[in-house]
Amino acid sequence: MHMQKDKLKGHLSIAAAYTIFGLNLVFCKDIANSETLSPYALFTLRAVGASALFWLLSLFTPKEKVAKGDFWKIAAASLIGLFIPQMTFLMAITMTSAIDTAIIGTLGPIFTMFFAFMFLKEPITGKKAGGVAISFAGILFLIFNSVHEGGAAATSPMGVFLLLVNSLSFSLYLGLFRPLISRYSVITFMKWSFLFSLILSLPISARELVTTDFMAIPADVLWEVAYLIFFATFVAYFLIPYGQKYIRPTLVSMYSYLQPIIAAIVSIWAGVDTLTWQKVLASILVVGGVVLVSRSRAAQHQ
């Protein structure tokens, strides 16, 4: 009974995080199209905001000492799970069409399944492979029936490369660092992770931060940046390692398929898209695949 409650907490946490990311995808495109903030400056603002919030929160929680040998591992996790994925995504969305961004993003769970097999010896069962395949088919079906515009007019090879690096890097993070994340509280792990990310980003973004005319940024873009910092960075990156403690990496990555569904729902709500049987079928396939993976032997044994 206790294990079932833990798994439910894990599922709800990851689902909430990827719902936030679904809206984040829309806002990142708006910010990029406004051409008022560079990807480097935006990443550093997110790192500053998240670092400040996690360190502030740590003042009100029990102190936790990090083993000296784990600092370099947390730094590596920060590089692979925060710095590279966020930076490559923010750069790539200015070079790729919306449909290509969405399609390449679907590869994450497939990469994660293999990394989890390599590093955590998480077996690739028939149910798991089948669930990933069903959700993958469903999300491609959804993409081809709902994503038509946004992003660059044409996708560049560099954009494709950056998106592949983004997907591989975050999948590697999910598959490689679960044991490390499990050793510490979420707040301790993330306050150090974001601090390391901030240190990594400053040499790249310092000049652009100084030269950015923040007064010229439209109010709606500032609100979107605030959403990115608080919800898509602080809240979402609290929820992901929390959920990782309770469910397996492949299952965590499967929730990334929520992002196009959320984007489609927002588009329908805003009146720029319509609800069709194709979208309903695609959503059923995605959810069915997630359920199948959650019932696989590997996902049930923690």
Give 230-273 as a DSSP string: IIIIIIHHHHHHHHHTTS-HHHHHHGGGHHHHHHHHHHHHTTSS
Please tell me the predicted confidence (pLDDT) of residue 299. 53
Is pLDDT above 90 for 32? no
Please tell me the predicted confidence (pLDDT) of residue 119. 93
The DSSP code sequence of 150-219 is: -B-SS--HHHHHHHHHHHHHHHHHHHHSHHHHHHS-HHHHHHHHHHHHHHHHHHHHHHHHHH--GGGS-H
- The token pair that represents 42 in the structure block: 């935006």
Is pLDDT above 60 for 302? no
The mean of the pLDDT values for the chain is 89
Is pLDDT above 60 for 208? yes
Length of the chain: 302
Q: Look at 25 and 7; give whichever has higher pLDDT.
A: 7
Q: Using the CB atoms, write b or e for 173-209: b if 16+ within 10 Å.
A: bbbbbbeebeebbbbbbbbbbbbbbbebbeebbeeeb
Highest mean pLDDT among 13-17, 277-281, 297-301: 13-17
Domain span at residue 44 reads 2-300
- Say if residues 96 and 157 touch (Cβ distance below 8 Å): no
Domain count, the chain: 1
Q: Cα–Cα distances in Å, from 37 out to 95, 230, 300?
A: 16, 17, 44
Q: Using the CB atoms, write b or e for 277-287: b if 16+ within 10 Å.
A: eebeebbebbb
